[in-house]
Amino acid sequence: MDPFAHAGALADAYRAVDWSRSPVGHPSTWSPTLLQALETAWSSRFPITLIWGPELVLLYNDAYVALIGDKHPAALGERTRTVFPEAWDGIAPLLEQATRGEATWSADALIPLVRHGHLEDCYFTFSYSPVRSAAGVIEGVVDISVETTRQVVDARRLALLSELGIALSGSASATQVAQRAAEVLAGDPADLPALALRLPRSTPAAEAVDEAGAGAPALPAAPSAPWDGDRPLLEPVDGGVLAWLPVRVTGARSERGGHLVVRLPPALAADPDHLAFLALVARAVERALDAVAVLEAERRAVADERRLSEVLQHSLLTPPAQPAGVAVAVRYEPAGEQASIGGDWYDAFVLPDGDLVVAIGDVAGHDRDAAALMGQARNLLRGIAYATQAAASRVLSLLDEALEGLGLDTTATAVVARLGPPVDHDGVQGRSLRWSNAGHPPPLLLGADGRVRLLDHRSDLLLGLDPAAARADHEVLLAPGDTLVMCTDGLVEHRRQPLDVGLGRLADLLHGQQDLDVETLCDRLVAGSERHTEDDVVVLVVRVLAGQGSESAAVRRVTSRPTGSSASA
């Protein structure tokens, strides 16, 4: 009877072995236990190995052949130690445990194997169990195993890609992308024993990642053969294979081509899955670099906006005039993150007859469009007031007509005030202030005695709605030491604070501050307000001085970004 009749595809391999020279002897001498164990193994489609006798001889089924590769058929009937010298240190203690009668269990265990002509890192989940005869004698060991190399490697690579994505997210520069990539990729020597990430020369991080590995030669700067850089390239070199993968920066403004070069690990096959993993690493770096390029473009746009705003600032928001006997101070703080100037504006200039005109206004919006409209409205008002020397109400009416006639589609609020020369009014020295209000927050008057008065006379219709709307003038006498305070709504009004509450808080801040110079008073008002960055803020302070003296030179202070601080311009 043929003992190998049920060995299936391995029948001829079993028959070809000279069993008389094997430690297990001729099949005619095999025990019923061994024969029965072989019949069970041959009938299974799961990889099963019998490690038999004191010499631990290998016998296995057809499903096991794929696990040992080109070790078959020489492994059949051979001692286990002879077949697996590269793995012996790891499996010998387990086999010894099983031959003593104690089963083992190993999950995703690393078993190095030479099965395709080179040493590979292989992973298996397996169990060694003793095989006993009917009399209870342990004759051998059965090994039931499944290879998990693909699952282990895939999980490791997936974890690395996830860690890389998290590490690269939020990178602020190409240099930071390269540094973070280096830290993560250096943690996977099994897949990336030596690598270099070389970014485009237009990126300030070239050669930022270069991990050659201990004792490994430096990686070359370019393949030895021409490479177009459009698709991955495998290049055989002394001691292994190099994989070249393109890294492109689509947002870069000049040279775009970078690359990732990896020395492939000899213990892992350079299969399509490995190359796909490397391509995903390169793509993760590309996405991070693209995000940085977009961020840098946004930064350049912001810088351009600020430069434009500063030009507008210097051309439109000129220093206030200060005739003798008057101190003037101004603060301007814009709302937006990009534009350093918006729709709020101020002005202070002297008419041909010597009167001082001060004006404050707010064009709807706080962006570049609002700034442009603000500039036109401000210059129109200045020209009208200077040319006509008319009353404040007439100046506002003419401005309203000009806005409509010139097609400036906007609405705006404004207060225009005209401060006359020193007069003696019924024995009281002072200067006459005549003003008109087009829907703007009312001015406040800080008296020389420290008391505060809200100049909340009738407010007329805002500009841009009806050029024919009636407008009124109001008058008050400013005595020496009195201070006029004008502001835009950003100082006193926001979503959580209505205008009347904000004006009340401003009046409380002003109370008793008559001894502060106008510059310090401006700073105190801005710092003490509950302003929010969604709106511009302008504060204009005018103080009548005793005689023809001066408190300080006229100062215009404008903040170029909405930080709440002031900087001299």
> Concatenated DSSP letters for 361-400?
EEES-SSHHHHHHHHHHHHHHHHHHHHH---HHHHHHHHH
Per the model's pLDDT, the better-predicted residue between 234 and 471 turns out to be: 471
- Structure tokens, 374: 């603000």
3-state secondary structure 221-266: CCCCCCCCCCCCEEEEECCEEEEEEEEECCCCCCCCEEEEEEECCC
* DSSP conformation class of 562: S
Choose among 90, 262, 272: nearest CA to 188. Answer: 262
Q: Is 495's pLDDT higher than 80?
A: no
pLDDT at 239: 72
Q: Is 569's pLDDT higher than 70?
A: no
Strand-pairing partners, residue 257, are 248
Q: Is 548's pLDDT higher than 80?
A: no
Strand-pairing partners, residue 127, are 144
Calpha distance 297→295 (Å, rounded): 5
- Mean pLDDT, rounded, of the chain: 87
What band does 333 get if pLDDT is binned at 50, 70 and 90? confident
Pairing of strands 444-446, 344-350: unpaired
C-alpha dihedral, 314 to 315 to 317 to 321, nearest 10°: 100
CB atoms closer than 10 angstroms to residue 444: 23
397: CB partners within 8 A, 6+ apart: 467, 469, 471
pLDDT at 484: 98
Model-level pTM? 0.59
pLDDT at 553: 42
* DSSP conformation class of 509: H
What band does 320 get if pLDDT is binned at 50, 70 and 90? very high
Amino acid (one-letter) located at 292: V
Low-confidence winner among 23-32, 231-240, 508-517 (lowest mean pLDDT)? 231-240
Calpha distance 223→209 (Å, rounded): 18
Per the model's pLDDT, the better-predicted residue between 147 and 290 turns out to be: 147
* DSSP conformation class of 193: S
Extended beta strands in 256-343, E state = 257-263, 326-333
Calpha distance 65→71 (Å, rounded): 8
CA contacts within 13 A on the Cβ side of 563:
7
* DSSP conformation class of 443: P
% of the chain with per-residue pLDDT over 70:
88
Per the model's pLDDT, the better-predicted residue between 351 and 118 turns out to be: 351
Calpha distance 278→274 (Å, rounded): 6
Per the model's pLDDT, the better-predicted residue between 81 and 562 turns out to be: 81
Q: What is the pLDDT of residues 70-86, one digit of tens each?
A: 999 999 999 999 999 99
CA torsion sign, 419 to 424 to 425 to 429?
positive
pLDDT at 508: 95
pLDDT at 104: 98
What band does 197 get if pLDDT is binned at 50, 70 and 90? confident
Q: Is 566's pLDDT higher than 60?
A: no
Contact between 389 and 515 under an 8 Å Cβ cutoff? The reply is no
Show the domains of the chain with their CATH numbers: 8-147 (3.30.450.20), 152-295 (3.30.450.40), 317-558 (3.60.40.10)
pLDDT at 528: 85
| Core vs surface per residue 495-532: b (16+ CB within 10 A) or e | eebeeeebbebbbebbeebbebebbebbbebbeebebe
Q: What is the pLDDT of residues 249-271, one digit of tens each?
A: 775 444 457 888 888 887 776 77
Q: What is the pLDDT of residues 425-435, one digit of tens each?
A: 777 789 999 99
- Structure tokens, 225: 């053969």
Choose among 55, 88, 58: nearest CA to 74. Answer: 58
pLDDT at 336: 55
Q: Is 134's pLDDT higher than 60?
A: yes
Q: Is 313's pLDDT higher than 90?
A: no
Using CA atoms, how far residue 123 sits from 138, 152, 155, 467, in Å, is 28, 7, 12, 86
Place of tokens 């110079």: 517
Q: What is the pLDDT of residues 441-490, one digit of tens each?
A: 999 999 999 999 999 888 899 999 999 999 999 999 999 999 999 999 98
